[in-house]
Amino acid sequence: MKRKNVIKNILMIAALGIAIMFFTNVIFAANTAKISVETANLRETADENSRILVQLSLNDEVEVLQKTNNWYEVKTKNGTTGYLREDLVKVSGDVEEAQNNSEEANTAETNTTESNTETTENQEQDTTEVITQESGTRIVKEDTKLKIVPSINATDIIEVKQNDEVTIIETMGDWICIEQGTTKGWIRSDKLMTVEEKEKQDEEAKAAEEAAKQEAQKAEEETKKQTTKTMYANSATVNVRKEASKDSSIVEQIKLNTAVTVLSEENGWSKVSVNGKEGYVASNLLSSSKTQETATSRGGVTREKTTEDKTKTTTTTTTTPSSGKGATVVETAKNYIGYRYVYGAAGPNSFDCSGFTSYVFKLHGVSLNRTAKAQYSNGTAVSRSDLQPGDLVMFGPSVSGINHVGIYIGGGQIVHAANPSRGVTIDTINSGYYNNNYVGARRVI
């Protein structure tokens, strides 16, 4: 009998040993643990790629339910059950000591498994919906760092660069888990954009670049127009030559006062365009205004060359300023606001700056020289502090470099033919370009 009892005890010990070996990877515990890192992800299963259920913070307490390999199954104070890596928690007590009998543990495990299966099915369904909405490729808007967990203060993993393409894994609030190559990390959603948004951004940038290019070309063309000027032959016959040399062949002969467009000047020669042809004229054979012819007492003709540097006394009458007349001139000038600026034009439908002033004053019986610089010879000088409506106001780097003229309308403003893009308009002379390049004023009425 005693021997039978010994054998029976040996068999029970062996069975117990087999059971312990079978459950060696799943050891039940009823201990508590604290989070030992700044942020820890509670995952749905014991897998690094498993869905994150909730984020726990440093020193948060959880109940340890069991351990599987290097993962703890835990339960939070809010009742959420999930898995934490063992390196993220500090467990109090001996985890390997089982405190529930196997029958109760099996029953609890069965119930937990059924509950978790149902919960997992629902969670997987929800997760699928989220991933479906956020899946695909995204473009990084600007250089930024990937975080190990979805938190501003979390540890950086790698830096992703602007315009890098990344793959969406999952989302959590304002954070998106992305994958680049073999690296996964978290990034704020506002740091990413869709491929369609990137394409639209590129199209807008290309359109803006093209618009800027066209604007630059337009400005260059307008600059070229403004650098050209109209001059007049000041001799009875002027030769237009093929090259800038007296020995070059003649392409055209022009008469006194023939208008030419000067394209450029160099070494005493002017490149001109006249009658549809281009060539070179000695610069001293051209003047900025026409040469006037007056009859002599013997019936001959005397030619008076009126230049920008010579006062044209024959066409200017000095009169006492009249505010009434000046105001009338201003009202006439304002009627042309909005008309086009065309270089060399003097009305009635388009003007350049001096063409505009000449046209307006001609309507009031006053003849002015044709260019802005030449008009500085008309009338009498007026100080800036004594300006009255109807006065001519000149601008440029200096008196010898006057290149613009307008009609003073009062209140520190002028009406003038500004440029090809603005036409006839009103501007102040008390600031900006016109203030800085003010030369002087003349009273002609």
How many residues does this entry show for the chain? 445
Q: Does residue 97 have a pLDDT over 60?
A: no
Domain spans, the chain: 22-130, 135-196, 229-292, 323-443
- What single-letter amino acid sits at 10? I
135-196 and 229-292: identical CATH topology: yes
Per the prediction, the chain carries an average pLDDT of 79
Tell me which of 370, 416, 442, 443 is the catalytic residue. 416
| Cα 390 from Cα 401, distance rounded (Å) | 23
**Quick check: is 416 catalytic?**
yes
Average pLDDT over residues 413-420: 93
| Cα 358 from Cα 369, distance rounded (Å) | 7
Per-residue pLDDT tens for 230-249?
999 988 889 999 999 988 99
Residue 26 Cα distances to 16, 92, 105, 195, 233, angstroms: 16, 18, 11, 47, 110
Average pLDDT over residues 85-109: 60
Res 304: pLDDT: 45
Q: What is the CATH number of domain 323-443?
A: 3.90.1720.10
Residue with tokens 């490729």: 137
Q: Are 54 and 42 in contact (CB under 8 A)?
A: yes
Secondary structure in 3-state letters for 226-239: HHCEEEEECCCEEE
Per-residue pLDDT tens for 359-392?
999 999 999 998 999 999 999 999 999 999 999 9
**Quick check: is 404 catalytic?**
yes
| Cα 164 from Cα 179, distance rounded (Å) | 11
- What single-letter amino acid sits at 371? T
Alpha carbon 267 to its chain centroid, in Å, reads: 44
**Region class of 392: left (phi > 0), else alpha (psi between -120 and 50), else beta:** beta
Task: Work out the percent of the chain whose per-residue pLDDT is above 70.
Answer: 75
Residue 207 Cα distances to 199, 211, 217, 304, angstroms: 12, 6, 15, 56
Per-residue pLDDT tens for 82-91?
999 999 989 8
pLDDT band at 38 (very low <50, low <70, confident <90, very high): confident
Task: Tokens for 298, please give them.
Answer: 């013997």
Res 37: pLDDT: 87
Task: Work out the percent of the chain whose per-residue pLDDT is above 90.
Answer: 38
Res 5: pLDDT: 65
229-292: CATH architecture: Roll (2.30)
Assign domain 135-196 one CATH number from 1.20.1440.230, 2.120.10.30, 2.30.30.40, 3.40.120.10. 2.30.30.40
Tell me which of 404, 407, 414, 441 is the catalytic residue. 404
Average pLDDT over residues 195-224: 82
- Which of 137, 173, 154 lies closest to 52 in space, CA to CA? 173
Q: Is the pTM of this model over 0.85?
A: no
Report strand pairing: 89-91 vs 165-172. unpaired
pLDDT higher at 293 or 278? 278
**Quick check: is 353 catalytic?**
yes
Secondary structure in 3-state letters for the chain: CHHHHHHHHHHHHHHHHHHHHHCCCEEEEEEEEEECCCEEEEECCCCCCCCEEEEEECCCEEEEEEEECCEEEEECCCCCEEEEEHHHEEECCCCCCCCCCHHHHHHHHHHHHHHHHHHHHHHHHHHHHHHHHHCCEEEECCCEEEECCCCCCCCEEEEECCCCEEEEEEEECCEEEEEECCEEEEEEHHHEEEHHHHHHHHHHHHHHHHHHHHHHHHHHHHHHHHHCEEEEECCCEEEEECCCCCCCCEEEEEECCCEEEEEEEECCEEEEEECCEEEEEEHHHEECCCEEEEECCCCCEEEEECCCCCCCCCCCCCCCCCHHHHHHHHHHHHCCCCCEECCCCECCCEECHHHHHHHHHHCCCCCCCCCHHHHCCCCEEECHHHCCCCCEEEECCCHHHCCEEEEEEECCEEEEECCCCCCEEEEECCCHHHHHCEEEEEECC
Residue with tokens 């000449």: 358
Assign domain 22-130 one CATH number from 2.30.30.40, 3.40.50.620, 3.30.70.560, 3.40.1190.20. 2.30.30.40
Tell me which of 353, 387, 393, 407 is the catalytic residue. 353
| Cα 434 from Cα 413, distance rounded (Å) | 10
| Range from 21-30, 91-100, 191-200, 410-419 that averages highest in pLDDT | 410-419
Contacts of 10 (CB under 8 A, 6+ apart): none
- What single-letter amino acid sits at 96? E
| Cα 332 from Cα 409, distance rounded (Å) | 11
Alpha carbon 92 to its chain centroid, in Å, reads: 59
Per-residue pLDDT tens for 119-162?
444 444 443 333 334 568 889 999 999 998 888 888 898 999 99
Q: Are 422 and 226 in contact (CB under 8 A)?
A: no
